[in-house]
Amino acid sequence: MHKARVQTLFIAILIFSLTRAAYAESLIDRIEPPFWWTGMAEQTVQLMVYGKSIGKATVTSSNPSIIVQNVHTTDNPNYIFVDLTTELEQGEANTALRFELDDGAQQTVRYTFNARAAGSAERAGFSSKDVVYLLTPDRFANGNPNNDAVAGLTEQPNRSHPGGRHGGDLQGITQNLAYLANLGITQLWLNPIQENNEATYSYHGYAISDLYQVDARLGGNQALLSMTARARELGIGVIMDSIPNHIGAEHWWMRDLPSKDWIHNEGKFTQTSHRHEMIQDPYAPESERREFNDGWFVPSMPDLNQSNPLLANYIVQNTIWWIEYAGLSGLRVDTLPYADKHFTRDYNQRILAEYPNLNIVGEEWSTNPAVVAYWQRGKLNQDGFDAGSPSLMDFPLQEALIQALTEPEADRKGLMRLHVMLANDFQYPDADNLVVLSDNHDMNRVHTWLKQDVALTKMALGFLFTIRGIPQLFYGTEILMDNTGTDDHGVIRSDYPGGWVGDTVNAFTGQGLTQAQLDMQNTVRELLNWRKHSVAIHSGELVHYVPKDGVYVYFRVHKDDVVMVLMNKNEQTKQINTARFKETLGAHTRWQDVLTQATGELATGISVPAKTTMIVELKQ
C-alpha cells in the first residue's frame, strides 16, 4: 500500500479511536465495586454501573472464565447491575467488559479479580482475649496537616469549633499505634472513615457520601492500608464501623437515585420514632413498625430501603470489599435494629459465610437485656427469628455500672445493679461475646458520669477489664478525659492531647499530664498488659456473690486459674472474710494483687482499700 495512503488510514483510525474514546468516557461514570477477588465463597459479584442510559446496554465479557451471568435494570435507565461469575479459585484474573448501546456507542472497561491474601477466609475476629480501643479519627492525631482541607470536600478545618473538622487523620493514628500497643490495646475500632461531604459536622462520619472511598481529609484509601499493615505488625486488629441503615444527604446517589424505592419514604425526610421495642413487640401495629424502621434519623441521613434486593446486595458486597481490601478483624454495625431485620440476618449470614471466624458486634442501644438479646446468634425468639449477630454492645450493663457507682447502697440499687443485670445473662445465647463498655462516642465520658472522681473511674475500669465479655475503652479514658459541664458531642470527642503540633500536653509521651492522669494511664497499662495473659479472664466462668456492706465479689474461674475481684465502694477499707467463698476458692490458699504484687493468706481475709476494685490471682 502507498505510504501516503497508509499514513492517511492510520490518522483516520486514530481520530476515530480518539473520538470513540472521548464518547466512551461519558458512557460510564462509575463501576462499584471497583475490583473483586477470586476464591471467594460466593463466586458471583454484582457490579453497579452508572452512566447516562447505560441501563439500555448489552454487556459481554472477553474472558471465558469470567461470565456475565445476568444483568438487572431499574426504573432509572442510568443504572445497570451486572452479575459476574468466576470459578477461578486463586490468582489474579481480568476481563474486558464491553458495554454497547443500540446506537452503536460502546465502551470497554477492564475489570480485575485480585488474588486473596493467604488465610483471608480463616482470619480470626476479635474476642474476649482482646481490648478494643474506640477513637474518632479526626480527633486523635494530625499526622499530615496538608490534607486538612481538600478540594471538592466542603467543610474546611476549624479546630476552635467543637463540632468542626480538627485535622486528625489515619497517618496520625499510624504514627501512634506503638503507644496503643504499649498500653495493651489489641483491637482498634474507628468511627466511620469513608468520605463524608456534609457542609457541617462532617468529622462525625455517619453521613457517608462515597461508600468506597476513605475521606481524603483522613488520607484516602492508601492511608488506611498503611495503617492496617502497621497495626498487624504490632498485633492490633482493626474493626470497621459499618452503616447499613443510612447514607449521607450528599451521597452521589441522592442526585440520581438508582430506583424510586432506593430510599425510604420516597426519598423524603420522615422522622423515625426511635422506639426500639417495635421489632419485638407482639402487639405493635405494622404502621408503627414501619415508622421505626423506615423513618430517618435526621434530614442529613437518608434511610436506605434494604428490602430492595439490589441495594441489599450492594451493602453486603461493600462490607465484604472493605474486610478483604483492608484486612479487617471485625465489624461494628451502627444502628442495628433500624435496618430491615431480614436484611440484617442475611447480612450476617453472607459475611460469616466468607469469614467464619470474623466477629460482628451490633449496636442495639437499649438498656433492656431482652431487647438486646433478641439479636444475638442462636437466640430462640418467640417469633422464630434469629438475626445471627455474633455480638452486641452491652448497653444494659453500661447503665448498671454507672448506677452502681453513683447510687447509695440500697435494696436492688448501688452495686446490686451489677449483680441483678449480670443475672440477666440467661437471656443471651453467648454473654461472653458481648462488648462491654463504660462509655462511648455518643454519651458522656465515664469520668463525667462519675463526677470526676478518680477512684470511682478506676473502679469502673477494673470492673470493665475483668468482667465477662470484650471490653471497649473510649480514647482518652486512660488519661481521665471528660466533658463536665456540657453534653456537646464535639466536646465529648475532644482532641487527644499531643496529637497536634504545638500541643502543650502530650499524652503519648506523658509530657504535661497531671499526676492523676499519669497514674490512671499507668494503671490502665498495667491492667491491660496483665489481662493479655490471663486465661481466667479470657475464658473463665463467672461466679458472683450477692453484694454485702458495699462490697461486690466475683470470680473468673478456668480450672485452677482463678481471679478474684473485690469491689469496695465504701469510703473506708473493708476487711473481707473469705469463708463465704470457700466453694469457689477450692484448694487455693493464697492471693496476690495484680497491681501492687502484695500477697496474703486467704484464711486471714483480704483487706480491700476504700473505693477500689481489687483484682487478685489465687495461688495454691
Q: Which of 526, 363, 237 is nearest to 371 (CA)?
A: 363
Last residue within a domain, chosen from 58, 87, 114: 114
Return the pLDDT at 87.
Answer: 87
Return the pLDDT at 26.
Answer: 72
Q: Are 220 and 213 in contact (CB under 8 A)?
A: yes
Give a yes or no: residue 528 inside a domain: yes
Mean pLDDT, residues 256-261: 98
Q: Are residues 506 and 559 in the same domain?
A: no
Name residue 601's beta-bridge partners: 590
**What is the value of pTM for the model shown?**
0.95
**Grid cell of 418 as nine digits:** 451489677
Cis status, amide bond into 33, omega within 30 of 0: yes
Mean pLDDT, residues 186-212: 98
Task: Read off the CATH number of the domain in which 581 is found.
Answer: 2.60.40.1180
Kindly report the average pLDDT of the chain as a whole number.
95
> Per-residue b/e over 293-315, b at no fewer than 16 CB within 10 Å?
bbbbbeebbbbbbbebebbbbbb
Active centre residues (catalytic): 334, 363
**Amino acid residing at 372:** V
Give a yes or no: residue 199 inside a domain: yes
Q: How far apart are CA 140 and CA 203, in angstroms?
A: 12
Return the pLDDT at 6.
Answer: 36
Residue 25: which pLDDT band, with cuts at 50, 70 and 90?
A: low
In total, how many domains does the chain have? 3
Q: Are residues 512 and 444 in the same domain?
A: yes
Q: Are residues 97 and 135 in the same domain?
A: no
pLDDT (tens digit, 9 = 90+) per residue, 376-413?
999 999 999 999 999 999 999 999 999 999 999 999 99
Q: Which of 257, 338, 345 is nearest to 303 (CA)?
A: 338
Mean pLDDT, residues 223-237: 98
Q: Are residues 143 and 79 in the same domain?
A: no
Q: Which regions of 165-216 does DSSP assign to beta strands (E)?
A: 187-190, 194-195, 210-214
Please give the share of the chain, as a percent, with pLDDT higher than 90: 96
Q: Are residues 198 and 136 in the same domain?
A: yes
Q: Are residues 492 and 575 in the same domain?
A: no
Give a yes or no: residue 422 inside a domain: no
Return the pLDDT at 15.
Answer: 32
Q: Are residues 90 and 139 in the same domain?
A: no
Q: How far apart are CA 164 and CA 225, in angstroms?
A: 26
Give a yes or no: residue 307 inside a domain: no
Residue 7: which pLDDT band, with cuts at 50, 70 and 90?
A: very low
pLDDT (tens digit, 9 = 90+) per residue, 152-172?
999 999 999 999 999 999 999
Distances (CA, A) of 178 to 185, 234, 438, 466: 10, 7, 24, 24
Return the pLDDT at 378.
Answer: 98
pLDDT (tens digit, 9 = 90+) per residue, 452-488?
999 999 999 999 999 999 999 999 999 999 999 999 9
Distances (CA, A) of 135 to 43, 178, 475: 35, 15, 5
Last residue within a domain, chosen from 509, 532, 555: 532
Last residue within a domain, chosen from 502, 532, 562: 532
Q: Are residues 520 and 554 in the same domain?
A: no
Which DSSP letter does residue 540 get?
A: P
Give a yes or no: residue 517 inside a domain: yes
Domain of residue 106 covers 27-114
- Contacts with 259 (C-beta within 8 Å, 6 or more apart), sequence order: 74, 75, 76, 79, 308, 310
pLDDT (tens digit, 9 = 90+) per residue, 67-78?
999 999 999 999
Q: Are residues 144 and 219 in the same domain?
A: yes
pLDDT for 425 beyond 90: yes
Q: Are residues 528 and 547 in the same domain?
A: no
Q: How far apart are CA 345 and CA 544, in angstroms?
A: 34
pLDDT (tens digit, 9 = 90+) per residue, 521-568?
999 999 999 999 999 999 999 999 999 999 999 999 999 999 999 999
Place of cell 493468706: 601
Helix (H, G, I), strand (E, B) or coil at 368: coil
**Grid cell of 256 as nine digits:** 440520581
pLDDT (tens digit, 9 = 90+) per residue, 241-258?
999 999 999 999 999 999
Q: Are residues 546 and 590 in the same domain?
A: yes
